[in-house]
Amino acid sequence: MAAIDAIFKALADPTRRLLLDRLREHNGQTLNELSARLGMTRQAATQHLDVLVAAGLVTVVRRGRERLHYLNPAPINEIQERWISGFDQPRLRALGAIKRQAEEYAMTTETSTLPSYVYVTYIRASAEQVWKALTDADLTARYWAHANISDWQEGSTWEHRRADESGHLDIIGKVLTTDPPHRLVVTFEDDLEARRDPSVVTFLIEPHEDIVRLTVTHENLPNVEMFNGISKGWPAVLSNLKSLLETGDVLPQAPWEMDDQHA
């Protein structure tokens, strides 16, 4: 209940809601950018951002000396599932569409560089269990409908094959960094001919007591189509992973597979 209280407290302040709106319009902003856009001091913006981070509504990703702030819609979705789904299932489907739109971070017309996609989820499991769920072929086949196959050594290739009779290879990539059970970095390529500059996915596993914070960052996206695809794909995959580890079963009728433009 304490976590829910923190979310409602964070959303109760109009300035903090405005900060979330600004991140929805343009995700991945620095403290200087956010404070300048809202016409407030860095200290004031920091105080509000600290509340949003503590509530899980904003995620901070470090890039060198910079701290980039990303909107995290997962806590709001949990409130939706806890109260709304039991009262009005048809309306929930409409709210789900709104959630997906919120997760499709806004593109800026001033630049052709797409923002990174960042998604955070909290899982009641150990870091070792989450690592195994990401790297074990049998487990990934259960919640992702694809088997992730590799020895997971730095420099090795990894394959993302459909868990059906076809065994079709949808994604192939290279393992860039492996630090079990804390950090895994891989490239994503959607065909057997490696692109010069493939997209990169980082899985960051941060344990705290009996809960793990899993942050997935997908960078170097080549086009808007792929961005839109992973914006729908990653929440579905990670929600299913969370369900498998916490309940022993996957979610019913969930669209695990990412869109075609996912690598």
144 & 191 share domain? yes
Tens digit of each residue's pLDDT (9 = 90 or more) over 120-177: 888 999 999 999 999 999 999 999 999 999 999 999 999 999 998 898 998 999 999 9
Q: How far apart are CA 102 and CA 100, in angstroms?
A: 5
DSSP reduced 3-state for 18: helix
The CATH number that applies at residue 53 is 1.10.10.10
Q: How far apart are CA 117 and CA 106, in angstroms?
A: 11
Q: Is residue 256 part of a domain?
A: no
50 & 9 share domain? yes
144 & 222 share domain? yes
99 & 161 share domain? no
Q: Of 55-64, 168-177, 233-242, give the lowest mean pLDDT range.
A: 55-64
Q: Number of structural domains, the chain?
A: 2
Band the pLDDT of 110: cuts 50, 70, 90: very low
Q: How far apart are CA 136 and CA 133, in angstroms?
A: 6
Q: What length does the chain have?
A: 263
Cα separations (Å) of 23 from 4, 31, 37, 82, 111? 21, 11, 11, 25, 17
The CATH number that applies at residue 239 is 3.30.530.20
- Cα 49–chain centre separation: 19
8 & 91 share domain? yes
Tell me, what DSSP letter sits at residue 165? T
- Neighbour tally for 43: CB within 10 Å: 9
Q: How far apart are CA 173 and CA 200, in angstroms?
A: 9
Q: Is residue 175 part of a domain?
A: yes
Q: How far apart are CA 132 and CA 203, in angstroms?
A: 12
Q: Is residue 255 part of a domain?
A: no
Band the pLDDT of 83: cuts 50, 70, 90: low
Give counts: helices (H), strands (E), the chain.
9, 9
Domain span at residue 30 reads: 2-103
What is the pLDDT averaged over residues 85-104? 50
Q: Which residues fall within 8 angstroms of residue 42, CB to CB, at 6 or more apart?
A: 31, 32, 35
pTM over 0.85: no
Q: Is residue 45 part of a domain?
A: yes
